[in-house]
Amino acid sequence: MVTMPLFFQTLPRSLSHRSPTTRIALVCGLVASLLLAQPLRLSPAARAEGAWEITPQSEQALERGLEWLARNQGADGNWGSNDLGLVSMGVLAFLAAGHTPGRGKYGKAVDRALDYVLRNAKPSGLLNISGQRRDMYNHGLATFVLGQAHGMTSDPRISPVLERALKLIANTQCDDGGWDYVARRQSRGHDLSLAVMQAKALRSAMDSGFEVPPEVVELAIKSVRGYYRARGAAGSEAKMKRLPGQFTYSGGSGTLAMAAAGVVCMQEFGQYDDWRIAKNMEIITAAVKRIRPRKKTGQLPLDAYTLYYVGQALYQVGGKHWRGAYPSLRDAVTESQKNGMWRDIGHVKGRPGELYGTSVACFILAIPNRYLPILQEGKIESIRKAVGKR
């Protein structure tokens, strides 16, 4: 159920840490955007915390990436992909840069892609028209983006689709709090990667005023914590705190992607003081320092999946991690662009890989804009109160 428009929910907390001049600029920009039906366009000084967040080169790379996405979208609006998650990532790239359906330079492109996702939603609420094993990957990504779109636009088509999509996530949660690849409830979830996608979808909807059952969030947090492993030992929580460790895919060895995914889950669910976050942030920031740009090759410095969560983990935790690591990540992404696009160096190949890579790269470069509801500053204390603090 929607409680109130996102604009009125998030404006106070999104401005709470800004200077008076910046707050005035943001409010004026938001009001002008609503009145003129144009994308929100503010100067880097008004949007960013400082000049270190945005460079002329990163802004140019972002604009070239958006131009590539618009030029290669196709009449159906789906870039030739029937993976609603990937199509939604294209939507996210535009939203993150302040472009909404039907407004401004890329308004038509956003509208076409969003329409493709909405018209392919199933009566059950499932947002997947690809193979059954892609049910919850596509569903989680698409639901997350619909939540962001709902928070940035008054499009009446989104709300009923989003509500059904959220119910499906709650109804397919496994007994241990995780999710399977296939949209069905069973005893155990499959892995952390599926959990983080549903976590982001739930938080996205909560940011937009939708209600999510507290017990769904509580059980999901328990599941995510279960994927944390201390290096070389198991045992009590007190013992694990003393040892190095990180989040894992399914309980085995850890990866950079899972370290970041686990952090994002904790942050999205309001577990800001969880001791596991600091352990994983050490791994993430060290990995970012080792990144070397693949200059003008079109290849992302990390695979798109990993980059997507690393960027969000740095931003959501903020502070020294964001300020110390984001510039390096931003510059590596900027310098690797070729002919306006990036390609995934992971499992997604061909044109879908170019859609995925370019969308994620644009999202990473647009984070300092803070246009997306999920990037608004402040902490949702209601989540902490609902699920408790551990």
Instruction: Retrieve residue 92's tokens.
Output: 């996210």
d(CA 194, CA 305): 12
Residue 140 confidence (pLDDT): 97
User: In this structure, is residue 103 part of a structural domain?
Assistant: yes
- What confidence tens digit (pLDDT) does each residue in 186-206 have? 999 999 999 999 999 999 888
User: In this structure, is residue 318 part of a structural domain?
Assistant: yes
Q: Is the pLDDT of residue 389 over 50?
A: no
CATH number at residue 262: 1.50.10.20
User: In this structure, is residue 78 part of a structural domain?
Assistant: yes
User: In this structure, is residue 302 part of a structural domain?
Assistant: yes
Specify the pTM.
0.87
Find the domain containing 65 and state its range: 6-387
Over residues 23-37, the mean pLDDT reads 43
User: In this structure, is residue 239 part of a structural domain?
Assistant: yes
User: In this structure, is residue 1 part of a structural domain?
Assistant: no
Q: What is the mean pLDDT of the chain?
A: 86
> Residue 103: which pLDDT band, with cuts at 50, 70 and 90?
confident
Instruction: Phi first, then psi: give them for residue 248, nearest 5 degrees.
Output: -125, 165
User: In this structure, is residue 354 part of a structural domain?
Assistant: yes
The sign of the dihedral angle between the CA atoms of 200, 350, 339, 303 is positive
- Structural domain total, the chain: 1
User: In this structure, is residue 32 part of a structural domain?
Assistant: yes
d(CA 365, CA 354): 16
The sign of the dihedral angle between the CA atoms of 104, 108, 110, 111 is positive
> Residue 237: which pLDDT band, with cuts at 50, 70 and 90?
confident
